[in-house]
Amino acid sequence: MLTDRLSSKKIIDELLDGGVEKGAITNFYGPAGSGKTNLALIFTLACVKESKVAFIDTEGNFSTERFFQLGGQEEDLKNILYNHLSNFKEQTKIVQKLKNTDVKLIVIDSIVSLYRLEIDKDNYTEINKELAKQLSSLSTIAREKKIPIIITNQVYSVNSDEIELSGRDIMKYWSKCLIELKKVDDNRRLAILRKHRSLPEGEKIEFEITKDGIEKAKFRIF
Ligand SMILES: Nc1ncnc2c1ncn2[C@@H]1O[C@H](COP(=O)(O)OP(=O)(O)OP(=O)(O)O)[C@@H](O)[C@H]1O
Ligand SMILES: [Mg+2]
Protein backbone atom coordinates (compact mmCIF):
# COMPACT_ATOMS: atom_id res chain seq x y z
CA MET A 1 0.00 0.00 0.00
CA LEU A 2 1.26 3.48 -0.83
CA THR A 3 2.07 5.48 2.31
CA ASP A 4 1.13 8.73 0.63
CA ARG A 5 -2.51 7.64 0.50
CA LEU A 6 -5.31 7.33 3.03
CA SER A 7 -6.94 3.99 2.25
CA SER A 8 -10.66 3.48 2.76
CA LYS A 9 -10.26 -0.29 2.36
CA LYS A 10 -13.28 -0.09 0.06
CA ILE A 11 -13.78 -0.39 -3.68
CA ILE A 12 -13.13 3.33 -4.24
CA ASP A 13 -9.41 2.70 -3.44
CA GLU A 14 -9.13 0.73 -6.70
CA LEU A 15 -9.86 3.87 -8.69
CA LEU A 16 -7.35 5.90 -6.68
CA ASP A 17 -4.48 3.41 -6.58
CA GLY A 18 -4.86 2.89 -2.85
CA GLY A 19 -6.85 5.84 -1.56
CA VAL A 20 -6.97 9.62 -1.38
CA GLU A 21 -3.63 11.40 -1.67
CA LYS A 22 -2.00 13.03 1.33
CA GLY A 23 -0.83 16.57 0.61
CA ALA A 24 -3.62 17.33 -1.85
CA ILE A 25 -7.28 18.19 -2.25
CA THR A 26 -9.54 15.41 -3.56
CA ASN A 27 -12.92 16.50 -4.88
CA PHE A 28 -15.91 14.14 -5.17
CA TYR A 29 -18.53 15.83 -7.32
CA GLY A 30 -21.93 14.79 -8.60
CA PRO A 31 -25.67 15.25 -8.31
CA ALA A 32 -27.81 14.73 -5.20
CA GLY A 33 -27.74 11.14 -4.04
CA SER A 34 -24.65 10.20 -6.06
CA GLY A 35 -22.72 9.17 -2.94
CA LYS A 36 -20.61 12.22 -2.01
CA THR A 37 -21.45 12.22 1.70
CA ASN A 38 -21.19 8.43 1.88
CA LEU A 39 -17.64 8.59 0.53
CA ALA A 40 -16.78 11.48 2.85
CA LEU A 41 -17.99 9.41 5.83
CA ILE A 42 -16.17 6.27 4.64
CA PHE A 43 -12.83 8.11 4.51
CA THR A 44 -13.60 9.79 7.85
CA LEU A 45 -14.04 6.34 9.35
CA ALA A 46 -10.80 5.11 7.83
CA CYS A 47 -8.95 7.82 9.73
CA VAL A 48 -10.91 8.35 12.91
CA LYS A 49 -9.96 5.09 14.65
CA GLU A 50 -6.40 6.37 15.06
CA SER A 51 -6.42 10.10 14.47
CA LYS A 52 -8.52 13.21 14.60
CA VAL A 53 -10.64 14.31 11.67
CA ALA A 54 -12.11 17.76 11.03
CA PHE A 55 -15.54 17.34 9.48
CA ILE A 56 -17.00 20.60 8.17
CA ASP A 57 -20.67 20.14 7.44
CA THR A 58 -22.34 22.92 5.48
CA GLU A 59 -25.68 21.24 4.90
CA GLY A 60 -26.37 19.30 8.09
CA ASN A 61 -25.72 16.11 6.15
CA PHE A 62 -23.62 14.36 8.79
CA SER A 63 -25.79 11.55 10.10
CA THR A 64 -24.58 9.68 13.17
CA GLU A 65 -27.04 6.92 12.22
CA ARG A 66 -25.28 6.49 8.86
CA PHE A 67 -21.89 6.80 10.59
CA PHE A 68 -22.77 3.87 12.88
CA GLN A 69 -24.16 1.83 9.95
CA LEU A 70 -20.80 2.28 8.21
CA GLY A 71 -18.98 0.82 11.22
CA GLY A 72 -18.41 3.87 13.41
CA GLN A 73 -18.57 3.55 17.20
CA GLU A 74 -19.74 6.05 19.78
CA GLU A 75 -16.12 6.58 20.94
CA ASP A 76 -15.01 7.43 17.37
CA LEU A 77 -17.17 10.54 17.51
CA LYS A 78 -14.74 12.00 20.08
CA ASN A 79 -12.09 12.09 17.35
CA ILE A 80 -14.29 14.09 15.01
CA LEU A 81 -13.98 17.85 15.25
CA TYR A 82 -17.41 18.56 13.89
CA ASN A 83 -18.43 22.00 12.68
CA HIS A 84 -21.79 22.85 11.25
CA LEU A 85 -21.60 26.12 9.33
CA SER A 86 -24.40 28.36 8.23
CA ASN A 87 -22.79 31.01 6.05
CA PHE A 88 -19.89 31.50 3.67
CA LYS A 89 -18.01 33.90 6.00
CA GLU A 90 -17.94 31.17 8.66
CA GLN A 91 -16.42 28.88 6.06
CA THR A 92 -13.59 31.38 5.47
CA LYS A 93 -13.01 31.62 9.24
CA ILE A 94 -12.94 27.86 9.78
CA VAL A 95 -10.46 27.39 6.92
CA GLN A 96 -8.12 29.86 8.67
CA LYS A 97 -8.56 27.99 11.98
CA LEU A 98 -7.71 24.69 10.32
CA LYS A 99 -4.15 25.95 9.87
CA ASN A 100 -3.65 25.34 13.59
CA THR A 101 -5.20 21.92 14.06
CA ASP A 102 -3.46 18.57 14.32
CA VAL A 103 -6.05 16.56 12.42
CA LYS A 104 -4.99 13.89 9.95
CA LEU A 105 -7.90 14.45 7.58
CA ILE A 106 -10.08 17.43 6.69
CA VAL A 107 -13.49 16.91 5.11
CA ILE A 108 -15.69 19.69 3.79
CA ASP A 109 -19.15 18.48 2.76
CA SER A 110 -19.92 20.48 0.66
CA ILE A 111 -17.41 23.20 -0.23
CA VAL A 112 -19.88 25.08 -2.45
CA SER A 113 -23.32 24.96 -0.84
CA LEU A 114 -22.82 28.18 1.18
CA TYR A 115 -20.99 29.75 -1.78
CA ARG A 116 -24.03 29.01 -3.94
CA LEU A 117 -26.33 30.63 -1.37
CA GLU A 118 -24.16 33.74 -1.13
CA ILE A 119 -23.28 34.48 -4.74
CA ASP A 120 -25.34 36.89 -6.83
CA LYS A 121 -24.76 39.17 -9.81
CA ASP A 122 -23.45 42.03 -7.64
CA ASN A 123 -20.93 40.15 -5.47
CA TYR A 124 -19.83 37.59 -8.07
CA THR A 125 -16.16 38.69 -8.31
CA GLU A 126 -15.71 39.12 -4.57
CA ILE A 127 -17.28 35.77 -3.65
CA ASN A 128 -15.26 33.91 -6.27
CA LYS A 129 -12.11 35.54 -4.91
CA GLU A 130 -13.09 34.39 -1.43
CA LEU A 131 -13.62 30.81 -2.64
CA ALA A 132 -10.25 30.83 -4.41
CA LYS A 133 -8.59 32.14 -1.24
CA GLN A 134 -10.17 29.36 0.84
CA LEU A 135 -8.95 26.74 -1.60
CA SER A 136 -5.48 28.22 -1.76
CA SER A 137 -5.29 28.04 2.06
CA LEU A 138 -6.62 24.48 2.09
CA SER A 139 -4.07 23.47 -0.51
CA THR A 140 -1.26 24.91 1.64
CA ILE A 141 -2.62 23.11 4.73
CA ALA A 142 -2.73 19.80 2.85
CA ARG A 143 0.81 20.23 1.55
CA GLU A 144 2.41 21.49 4.76
CA LYS A 145 0.70 19.01 7.08
CA LYS A 146 0.93 16.18 4.48
CA ILE A 147 -2.71 15.29 5.04
CA PRO A 148 -5.53 14.53 2.61
CA ILE A 149 -8.33 17.04 2.24
CA ILE A 150 -11.63 15.75 0.88
CA ILE A 151 -14.19 18.16 -0.45
CA THR A 152 -17.53 17.45 -2.04
CA ASN A 153 -18.97 19.55 -4.80
CA GLN A 154 -22.46 19.99 -6.22
CA VAL A 155 -23.00 20.28 -9.95
CA TYR A 156 -25.43 21.98 -12.29
CA SER A 157 -26.67 20.97 -15.74
CA VAL A 158 -25.19 22.71 -18.76
CA ASN A 159 -27.42 20.79 -21.18
CA SER A 160 -29.27 17.46 -21.19
CA ASP A 161 -26.11 15.34 -20.92
CA GLU A 162 -23.47 17.71 -19.62
CA ILE A 163 -22.85 18.81 -16.04
CA GLU A 164 -20.54 21.43 -14.60
CA LEU A 165 -19.07 21.81 -11.12
CA SER A 166 -20.35 24.69 -9.03
CA GLY A 167 -17.35 26.97 -8.65
CA ARG A 168 -16.13 25.71 -12.04
CA ASP A 169 -12.55 26.71 -12.90
CA ILE A 170 -11.65 27.57 -9.30
CA MET A 171 -12.63 24.09 -8.18
CA LYS A 172 -10.94 22.38 -11.13
CA TYR A 173 -7.71 24.30 -10.58
CA TRP A 174 -7.32 23.66 -6.86
CA SER A 175 -8.58 20.05 -6.74
CA LYS A 176 -5.57 17.89 -7.57
CA CYS A 177 -7.88 14.91 -7.87
CA LEU A 178 -11.38 15.12 -9.35
CA ILE A 179 -13.81 12.21 -9.19
CA GLU A 180 -17.15 12.49 -10.92
CA LEU A 181 -19.99 10.47 -9.40
CA LYS A 182 -23.03 9.48 -11.43
CA LYS A 183 -26.23 7.73 -10.44
CA VAL A 184 -26.76 4.70 -12.68
CA ASP A 185 -29.89 3.47 -10.87
CA ASP A 186 -31.29 3.31 -7.32
CA ASN A 187 -28.25 1.55 -5.83
CA ARG A 188 -25.64 1.64 -8.56
CA ARG A 189 -23.13 4.50 -8.89
CA LEU A 190 -20.37 5.21 -11.38
CA ALA A 191 -17.14 6.91 -10.24
CA ILE A 192 -14.97 8.36 -12.99
CA LEU A 193 -11.47 9.73 -12.47
CA ARG A 194 -11.48 13.12 -14.20
CA LYS A 195 -8.15 14.49 -12.97
CA HIS A 196 -5.21 12.97 -11.13
CA ARG A 197 -1.53 13.83 -10.72
CA SER A 198 -0.26 10.30 -11.28
CA LEU A 199 -3.08 8.19 -12.73
CA PRO A 200 -4.74 8.13 -16.16
CA GLU A 201 -7.94 10.10 -16.50
CA GLY A 202 -11.16 8.37 -17.56
CA GLU A 203 -10.72 5.24 -15.38
CA LYS A 204 -14.06 4.10 -13.94
CA ILE A 205 -15.51 1.84 -11.31
CA GLU A 206 -19.11 0.91 -10.54
CA PHE A 207 -20.22 0.54 -6.95
CA GLU A 208 -23.39 0.04 -4.96
CA ILE A 209 -24.35 1.92 -1.82
CA THR A 210 -25.36 -0.68 0.75
CA LYS A 211 -26.51 -0.64 4.36
CA ASP A 212 -22.96 -0.93 5.68
CA GLY A 213 -20.96 0.91 3.05
CA ILE A 214 -20.14 0.63 -0.62
CA GLU A 215 -19.43 -2.52 -2.62
CA LYS A 216 -18.27 -3.41 -6.06
CA ALA A 217 -21.35 -3.46 -8.31
CA LYS A 218 -22.62 -6.95 -9.02
CA PHE A 219 -22.40 -8.29 -12.56
CA ARG A 220 -25.59 -7.60 -14.47
CA ILE A 221 -27.08 -9.21 -17.57
CA PHE A 222 -28.67 -6.50 -19.67
N1 LIG B 1 -28.56 2.18 4.66
C2 LIG B 1 -28.51 2.40 3.35
N3 LIG B 1 -28.63 1.41 2.47
C4 LIG B 1 -28.62 1.63 1.15
N5 LIG B 1 -28.46 2.85 0.60
C6 LIG B 1 -28.33 3.88 1.43
C7 LIG B 1 -28.33 3.73 2.84
N8 LIG B 1 -28.18 4.95 3.41
C9 LIG B 1 -28.09 5.82 2.39
N10 LIG B 1 -28.18 5.19 1.21
C11 LIG B 1 -28.21 5.78 -0.11
O12 LIG B 1 -27.22 6.74 -0.26
C13 LIG B 1 -27.67 7.71 -1.20
C14 LIG B 1 -27.32 9.09 -0.71
O15 LIG B 1 -25.96 9.22 -0.81
P16 LIG B 1 -25.23 10.53 -0.32
O17 LIG B 1 -25.92 11.12 0.83
O18 LIG B 1 -23.81 10.13 -0.16
O19 LIG B 1 -25.43 11.45 -1.61
P20 LIG B 1 -24.85 12.89 -1.88
O21 LIG B 1 -24.15 12.82 -3.19
O22 LIG B 1 -24.07 13.34 -0.71
O23 LIG B 1 -26.17 13.76 -2.07
P24 LIG B 1 -26.45 15.31 -1.70
O25 LIG B 1 -25.91 16.13 -2.85
O26 LIG B 1 -27.94 15.37 -1.61
O27 LIG B 1 -25.77 15.62 -0.42
C28 LIG B 1 -29.16 7.56 -1.38
O29 LIG B 1 -29.40 7.00 -2.66
C30 LIG B 1 -29.51 6.58 -0.29
O31 LIG B 1 -30.55 5.74 -0.68
MG1 LIG C 1 -24.30 14.90 0.63
pTM above 0.85, yes or no: yes
Pocket of ligand 1 (CB under 6 A): 30, 32-38, 61, 66, 69, 154, 209-211
Q: Which CATH class is domain 5-216?
A: alpha beta
On the question of pLDDT at 104 being above 90, the answer is yes
On the question of pLDDT at 219 being above 80, the answer is no
Which residue has its alpha carbon closest to ligand 1 atom 16? 35
* Under 8 Å between Cβ of 198 and 22: no
pLDDT digits 0-9 by tens, 171-200: 999 999 999 999 999 989 999 999 999 999
Residue 29: pLDDT band (50, 70, 90) is: very high
**Selection from 200, 177, 186 nearest residue 29 by Cα:** 177
- Ligand 1 centre from 39 Cα, in Å? 10
- Cα–Cα distance between 63 and 73 in angstroms, integer? 13
To test the ligand 1 pocket, which listed residue (27, 209, 214) has its Cβ within 8 A of the most ligand atoms? 209
Query: Greater confidence, 154 or 218?
Result: 154
Residue 123 φ/ψ, nearest 5 degrees: -105, 10
On the question of pLDDT at 150 being above 80, the answer is yes
Q: Is 81 in a helix, a strand, or coil?
A: strand
- Cα–Cα distance between 35 and 152 in angstroms, integer? 10
Which residue has its alpha carbon closest to ligand 1 atom 1? 211
List the chain domain ranges.
Answer: 5-216
Beta-carbon neighbour count of residue 3 at 10 Å?
A: 6
* Region class of 120: left (phi > 0), else alpha (psi between -120 and 50), else beta: beta
